[in-house]
């Protein structure tokens, strides 16, 4: 294992600083200091990185490639130090150089190449694969601009570009010699040579895919895996590209711009699919580059392509990388001369697919004519996959034309990516029990009947190294002192903490730690927005993407109701609360942006109303991102997981909160169900419609939000307050928001769940008044959070889907 002593580290650091900046430490800025440290850590990692690669080559172990449009890594310095096992030594050594490591870590820009849950999950998985010694590689896009930076100006979201590379990126290494060429457009020429059909792609536009590699350090195990992100560049002038040779300058510039557009920016929509051709280009770009490099590398190492599926597993994170399926087919057939049947067997055995959503509006489908024009050869292959698939259906479902046309991969002029992903892979999984069940019995029912054995559940997880050890050092210390350190390698050992739930001293210590974390967050809030919040109030937190189904609106309405009650009776005996929101809205999502505005309008009014004596405060924190989450989550008392039942596939912040000792108020949606199963009904606050009720309303109707509202004076009042100028002089400002609830019958049952939610909140109040009761519940939540480590999830993927890793080999 990597070790270093303090003195050597200091020497290395000072040397590095001088080399990099050409000046002495005293003359450097904090950013200089951060850069020198990052760069030194990367040097330390480099050796193990190379060794890991050599070892994988020597053992010929099965390699996993996790393909994802998004990797939301956040900051790397602190976690790399932690995983290397040298964070404490570094901290001491730097302290002696008058440098505060924690502060230095704040100078690292988040690597924000993802929208939210799906992207962060990919990042947690990389951490777990490395820590479990699984040969796992990430493959994605090196966007020049990550997820936009959010500013809240006059209560509204304003988007600014996230130019995260401005000050360089010490973690990545560009590998131009490992570039690949990706081909767009053009035509396919078919020729028969010696009785075999040959395909040649001509007149295409070539794009150079250049890889940048980032080391992923495993936890104290000398493993360093690789994340490879591809950047699009024009191919050099030497390439036979006729417009260049004619000296057509403008064409050349146009070409350059269109190429660079491919890896220019991350699309900021997470649940709304938009059929933008550039997005399809992005997908094929990184998928083709990734698959080509995997196969090239495999052959270079003497691999035999006929058993590719025994040596390589390719996982696709949602349907975004589905083109991996026809791309592998293309290479195996057109370039390696394999038969369709062999290529198909190998491809489907290699690829596996995770679904992350059942929202119909998020299902990817591409207009077939655009698809064909952009990717002519790939389209031919998809057509042939579909022809054979429909043949299979015809034989099985004789005369059931509707069913067949519903299941078809190409239909109504569109290529349906989820259908392609299911047909072309050997495993389809959902991300929580309920979600997988809904896929099987509703959304993907026909496919489930056809291929029952492909479907399986893999409940999401989070890396406890970032989300507990790194972000909550005091809680980590308490755990180590009470139950020892075995939980770090075996997170389910956290269960041993159960017996301390009744220990008064431990409960008080838990309360003290929470209070400390809250003080730190209070300072961040004060510094950022000048609002003073009381660390002794309950921190009631909802942080996630803003979406109607996640129901920030429900949270907001009950705050409005509570505010009304306090105005009416300033002496009302309630637990003082600080309501914290954070999250970004997709730039084109009007209702979500209005929700942000409404919350801010409510915050403005509530925070400035002297009558209510600071009993409640509302804070909207700007620019939610991984590093901010690391400050918010350990400081949370109450975790809001209040989506409309059936809509949230899993959720992952719910797991992060419980691991940090927050109690959860939740609907039985997504992984909240598993959390409830783990901690028991007594240690979570559940409310709202059940799955069955929601599905019934959707199928049979029978819900009138208008009636629900009229029958509840509290609701009548708060909904009127949205449009009567109470929160904004402009009565039109929140009209759409109001209409969504009342004119369009409240698609997400906000008003329907209001009463039950308020009762649940009253229960939370009651529990919070008894600090021992509350901390006992917090302790039980922590004790049962181990199963939500992504180490468990990754072990399940490795043994159940990929057939890789140590555990698999020792089965
Ligand atoms: C698709 C096509 C065009 C443009 C954008 C997209 C797109 C991009 C991102 C569609 C979806 C996403 C992201 C989805 C996502 O984050 N889903 C979340 O995944 C988490 C991890 O499994 C779950 O915990 C959440 O419940 C789920 O909402």
Nearest CA to ligand 1 atom 12: 270
Q: Which CATH superfamily is domain 60-75+110-364+428-460 in?
A: Glycogen Phosphorylase B; (3.40.50.2000)
pLDDT at 125 exceeding the cut of 80 = yes
247 pLDDT band, cuts 50/70/90, is low
Nearest CA to ligand 1 atom 15: 118
3-state helix, strand, coil in the chain (%, to 5): 55, 15, 30
Say if residue 293 is exposed, middle or buried (CB neighbours under 10 Å; 0-12, 13-18, 19+). Answer: buried
Nearest CA to ligand 1 atom 7: 270
618-639: per-residue pLDDT in tens?
A: 999 999 999 999 999 999 999 9
DSSP output for 413-476? TEEEHHHHHHHT-SEEEESSHHHHHHIIIIITHHHHHH-GGGEEE----B-HIIIIIIT-HHHH
- Between the CA of 767 and the centroid of ligand 1 the distance, in Å, is 35
Ligand 1 nearest-atom number relative to CA 276: 3
Nearest CA to ligand 1 atom 11: 270
Cα–Cα distance between 128 and 108 in angstroms, integer?
A: 22
- Between the CA of 490 and the centroid of ligand 1 the distance, in Å, is 29
Predicted pLDDT at 811:
44
pLDDT at 243 exceeding the cut of 70 = no
Percentage of the chain modeled with pLDDT above 70: 98
- When pLDDT is averaged across residues 236-258 and rounded to a whole number, the result is 72
- When pLDDT is averaged across residues 183-197 and rounded to a whole number, the result is 92
424-441: per-residue pLDDT in tens?
A: 999 999 999 999 999 999
pLDDT at 138 exceeding the cut of 70 = yes
Whole-Å CA distances, 405 to 368, 379, 386, 457, 688: 15, 18, 11, 27, 37
Q: How far apart are the first and last CA of the chain?
A: 26
pLDDT at 809 exceeding the cut of 90 = no
Residue to probe by mutation, ligand 1, list 120, 318, 354, most atoms within 8 Å of CB: 318
Ligand 1 nearest-atom number relative to CA 460: 22
User: Angle at Cα 46 formed by Cα 41 and Cα 48, nearest 5°?
Assistant: 110
Predicted pLDDT at 246:
60
362 pLDDT band, cuts 50/70/90, is confident
Predicted pLDDT at 241:
53
Nearest CA to ligand 1 atom 9: 270
- Between the CA of 273 and the centroid of ligand 1 the distance, in Å, is 10
Predicted pLDDT at 480:
98
Predicted pLDDT at 806:
56
Determine how many CB atoms are found less than 10 A away from the CB of residue 753: 23
* Domain ranges for the chain: 60-75+110-364+428-460, 465-788
Torsion 117-123-124-126 (CA) sign? positive
What string of H, E and C letters represents the secondary structure of 348-384?
Answer: HHHEEEECCCCCHHHCCEEEHHHHHHHCHHHHHHHHH
456-481: per-residue pLDDT in tens?
A: 999 999 999 999 999 999 999 999 99
Cα–Cα distance between 555 and 599 in angstroms, integer?
A: 9
Nearest CA to ligand 1 atom 8: 270
Enzyme catalytic residues: 356, 544-545, 550, 652, 656
810 pLDDT band, cuts 50/70/90, is very low
pLDDT at 238 exceeding the cut of 50 = no
Residue 530's contacts (CB-CB under 8 Å, 6 or more residues apart) are: none
372-394: per-residue pLDDT in tens?
A: 999 999 999 999 999 999 999 99
Query: Which 8-state DSSP code applies to residue 799?
Result: I
User: Angle at Cα 76 formed by Cα 75 and Cα 80, nearest 5°?
Assistant: 150
Cα–Cα distance between 663 and 333 in angstroms, integer?
A: 55
808 pLDDT band, cuts 50/70/90, is low
Predicted pLDDT at 358:
85
- Between the CA of 118 and the centroid of ligand 1 the distance, in Å, is 5
684-705: per-residue pLDDT in tens?
A: 999 999 999 999 999 999 999 9
Ligand 1 residue neighbourhood (C-beta within 6 Å): 115-118, 121, 267, 269-271, 273-274, 279, 356-357, 362, 364, 431, 460, 648-652, 670
- Between the CA of 271 and the centroid of ligand 1 the distance, in Å, is 6
Ligand 1 nearest-atom number relative to CA 364: 2
- When pLDDT is averaged across residues 568-591 and rounded to a whole number, the result is 97
DSSP output for 41-88? HHHHHHHHHHHHHHHHHHHTPPEEEEE-S-EEEE--HHHHHHHHT-HH
Cα–Cα distance between 518 and 534 in angstroms, integer?
A: 9
- Between the CA of 180 and the centroid of ligand 1 the distance, in Å, is 28
Residue to probe by mutation, ligand 1, list 66, 67, 116, most atoms within 8 Å of CB: 116
Percentage of the chain modeled with pLDDT above 90: 94
- When pLDDT is averaged across residues 102-117 and rounded to a whole number, the result is 97
Residue 233's contacts (CB-CB under 8 Å, 6 or more residues apart) are: 179, 207, 208, 209, 210, 259, 260
Predicted pLDDT at 275:
77
Ligand 1 nearest-atom number relative to CA 652: 24
- When pLDDT is averaged across residues 193-200 and rounded to a whole number, the result is 88
- When pLDDT is averaged across residues 50-76 and rounded to a whole number, the result is 97
- Between the CA of 269 and the centroid of ligand 1 the distance, in Å, is 8
481 is written with which tokens? 């002192």
Q: Give bridge partners of residue 663 from the DSSP assignment.
A: 638
Nearest CA to ligand 1 atom 24: 651
Q: Which is nearest to 714 in space by CA: 758, 773, 772, 661?
A: 758
Candidate CATH numbers 3.40.50.2000, 3.10.20.30, 3.30.70.3280, 3.30.70.980; the one for domain 465-788? 3.40.50.2000
pTM score: 0.97
Spatial contact of 589 and 509, defined as CB atoms under 8 Å apart: no
776 is written with which tokens? 């006992």
Mean pLDDT of the residues in the chain? 96
């Amino acid at each position: 294992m990597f070790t270093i002593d303090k003195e050597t580290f200091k020497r290395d650091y000072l040397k590095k600083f001088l080399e990099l900046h050409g000046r002495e430490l005293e003359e450097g800025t904090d950013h200089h200091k951060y850069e020198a440290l990052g760069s030194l850590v990367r040097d330390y990692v480099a050796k193990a990185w190379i060794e890991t690669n050599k070892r994988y080559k020597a053992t010929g172990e099965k390699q996993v490639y996790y393909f994802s449009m998004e990797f939301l890594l956040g900051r790397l310095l602190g976690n790399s130090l932690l995983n290397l096992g040298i964070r404490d030594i570094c901290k001491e050594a730097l302290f002696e150089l008058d440098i505060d490591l924690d502060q230095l870590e704040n100078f690292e820009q988040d690597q924000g190449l993802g929208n939210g849950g799906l992207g962060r999950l990919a990042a947690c998985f990389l951490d777990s694969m490395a820590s479990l010694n699984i040969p796992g590689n990430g493959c994605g896009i090196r966007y020049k601009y990550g997820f936009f930076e959010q500013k809240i100006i006059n209560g509204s979201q304003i988007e600014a570009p996230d130019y995260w590379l401005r000050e360089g990126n010490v973690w990545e290494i560009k590998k131009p010699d490992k570039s690949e060429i990706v081909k767009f457009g053009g035509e396919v020429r078919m020729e028969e040579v010696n009785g075999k059909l040959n395909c040649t792609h001509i007149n295409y536009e070539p794009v150079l895919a250049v890889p940048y590699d980032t080391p992923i350090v495993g936890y104290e195990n000398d493993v360093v895996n690789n994340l490879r992100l591809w950047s699009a560049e024009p191919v050099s002038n030497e390439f036979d590209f006729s417009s260049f040779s004619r000296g057509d300058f403008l064409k050349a510039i146009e070409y350059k711009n269109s190429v660079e557009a491919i890896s220019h920016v991350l699309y900021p929509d997470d649940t709304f699919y938009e059929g933008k051709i550039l997005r399809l280009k992005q997908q094929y770009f990184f998928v083709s580059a990734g698959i080509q490099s995997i196969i090239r590398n495999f052959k270079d190492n003497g691999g035999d392509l006929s058993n590719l599926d025994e040596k390589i597993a390719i996982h696709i994170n949602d349907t975004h990388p589905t083109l991996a399926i026809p791309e592998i087919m293309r290479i195996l057939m057109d370039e390696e001369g394999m038969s369709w049947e062999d290529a198909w067997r190998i491809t489907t055995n290699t690829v596996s697919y995770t679904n992350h959503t059942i929202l119909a509006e998020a299902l990817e489908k591409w207009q077939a004519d655009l698809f064909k024009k952009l990717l002519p050869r790939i389209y031919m292959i998809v057509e042939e996959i579909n022809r054979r698939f429909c043949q299979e259906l015809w034989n099985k479902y004789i005369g059931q034309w509707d069913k067949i046309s519903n299941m078809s991969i190409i239909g109504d002029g569109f290529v349906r990516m989820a259908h392609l992903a299911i047909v072309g892979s050997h495993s389809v999984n959902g991300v929580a029990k309920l979600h997988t069940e809904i896929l099987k019995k509703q959304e993907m029912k026909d496919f489930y009947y056809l291929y029952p054995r492909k479907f399986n559940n893999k409940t999401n997880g989070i890396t406890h190294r970032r989300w507990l050890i790194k972000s909550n050092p005091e809680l980590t210390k308490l755990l180590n002192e009470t139950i020892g350190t075995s939980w770090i390698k075996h997170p389910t050992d956290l269960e041993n903490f159960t017996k301390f739930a009744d220990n008064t001293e431990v409960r008080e210590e838990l309360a003290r730690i929470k209070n400390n974390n809250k003080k730190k967050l209070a300072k961040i809030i004060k510094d950022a927005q000048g609002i003073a919040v009381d660390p002794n109030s309950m921190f009631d937190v909802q942080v996630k993407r803003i979406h109607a189904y996640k129901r920030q609106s429900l949270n907001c309405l009950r705050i409005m109701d509570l505010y009304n009650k306090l105005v009416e009776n300033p002496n009302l005996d309630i637990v003082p609360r600080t309501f914290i929101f954070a999250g970004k809205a997709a730039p084109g999502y009007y209702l979500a942006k209005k929700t942000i505005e409404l919350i801010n309008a409510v915050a403005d009014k509530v925070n400035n109303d002297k009558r209510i004596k600071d009993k409640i405060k509302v804070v909207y924190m700007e620019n939610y991102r991984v590093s901010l989450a690391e400050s918010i989550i350990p400081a949370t008392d109450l975790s809001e997981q209040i989506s409309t039942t059936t809509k949230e596939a899993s959720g992952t912040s719910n797991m992060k909160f419980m691991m940090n000792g927050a109690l959860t108020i939740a609907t039985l949606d997504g992984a909240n169900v598993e959390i409830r199963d783990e901690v028991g009904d007594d240690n979570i606050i559940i409310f709202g419609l059940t799955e069955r009720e929601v599905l019934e309303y959707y199928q049979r109707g029978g819900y009138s939000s208008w009636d629900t509202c009229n029958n509840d004076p509290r609701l009548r009042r708060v909904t009127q307050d949205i449009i009567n100028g109470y929160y904004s002089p402009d009565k039109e400002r929140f009209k759409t928001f109001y209409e969504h609830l009342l004119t369009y019958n409240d698609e997400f049952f906000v008003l329907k769940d209001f009463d039950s939610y308020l009762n649940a909140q009253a229960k939370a109040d009651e529990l919070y008044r008894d600090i021992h009761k509350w901390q006992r519940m917090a302790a039980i939540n922590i004790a049962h959070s181990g199963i939500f480590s992504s180490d468990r999830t990754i072990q399940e993927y490795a043994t159940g889907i990929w057939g890789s890793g140590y555990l698999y080999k020792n089965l």
